[in-house]
């Protein structure tokens, strides 16, 4: 099972995206667990993740996120703003799967 954690400014704007990612994974027969938290809680939850994705509204914390995540061996990236805005769970799932393979 792939554990994906999304971090955004408050943890609430990604709730709909979580459902879309889970739907996309189910359609492909992939087991995932997806959670979202405010970026301020990253250090608390990063150890639970296989992959960390940042909402575009917090892309400015990518350097900090890379430092925190690299110490735990967890890949991290920012979700494309267009993909995020469209709530495209399939594309976010693809991004997470690609990061997990690296």
CATH of the domain at 88: 3.40.50.2300
Examine the pLDDT at 16 and tell me if it is beyond 90: no
Q: What is the mean pLDDT of the chain?
A: 94
Catalytic residues: 8
Q: Is the pLDDT of residue 30 over 90?
A: yes
Average pLDDT value for residue range 6-22: 86
Quick count: other Cβ atoms within 10 Å of Cβ 27? 11
C-alpha–C-alpha distance, residues 10 and 72, integer Å: 23
Could you tell me which of 2, 14, 79, 81 has the C-alpha nearest to residue 41? Answer: 14
**Domain total in the chain:** 1
Q: Domain span at residue 11?
A: 2-101
Q: Characterize 51-71 residue by residue with b for buried, 16 or more Cβ atoms within 10 angstroms of its Cβ, and e for exposed.
A: bbbbbebbeebeeebeebbee
Question: Would the pLDDT of 12 be above 70?
Answer: no
């Amino acid at each position: 099972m792939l554990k994906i954690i999304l971090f955004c400014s408050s943890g609430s704007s990604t709730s709909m995206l979580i459902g879309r990612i889970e739907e996309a994974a189910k359609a492909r027969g992939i087991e995932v667990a997806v959670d979202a938290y405010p970026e301020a809680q990253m250090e608390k939850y990063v150890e639970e993740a296989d992959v960390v994705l940042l909402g575009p509204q917090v892309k400015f914390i990518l350097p900090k996120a890379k430092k925190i995540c690299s110490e735990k061996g967890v890949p991290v990236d920012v979700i494309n703003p267009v993909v995020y805005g469209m709530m495209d769970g399939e594309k976010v799932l693809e991004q997470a799967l690609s990061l997990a393979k690296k």
